[in-house]
Amino acid sequence: MFISSAFAQAAPAAAGDVQSSLMGMLPLVLMFVVLYFVMIRPQMKKAKDHKNMVEALAKGDEVVTAGGLLGKVTKMTEGFLSIEIATGVEVQLQRSSVVQVLPKGTIK
């Protein structure tokens, strides 16, 4: 009365089981491939371009920082650089905070 009857289930066929599990994983694999081409690959390309830009900085380049400062590079060390944001005003910052190198003559 309190215990219900238990019935055994038949085991599925082995060949059909492998195929159904592969078909079940197909959407997951497709989602990862789309994620790679839409998000991961462009982000890696952007990081590589930024690294190349920072390594190519030279004295006299006009740059924009992540904080929005515009200035001319006056001194450079391995991890830091000094930019002149106004006549006689120099600011030290990390190389990685440079966002963009401007064409020569942009800052007057």
More confident position, 58 or 20: 58
- Span 36-93, pLDDT tens digits: 999 999 999 999 999 999 999 999 999 999 999 999 999 999 999 999 999 999 999 9
Between 3.40.50, 2.30.29, 1.10.150, 2.30.30, what CATH number should domain 58-102 receive?
Answer: 2.30.30
Helix or strand run (H / E) with residue 100: strand 98-102
| Domain limits, the chain | 14-56, 58-102
Using the predicted structure, report yes or no on whether residue 15 has a pLDDT greater than 60: no
Is residue 107 within 8 Å of 70, Cβ to Cβ?
A: yes
CA 80 to each of CA 40, 42, 55, 94, 102: distance values in angstroms, whole numbers, following the listed order: 29, 27, 12, 4, 19
Q: Name the one residue in this structure whose structure tokens are 């006689």.
A: 88
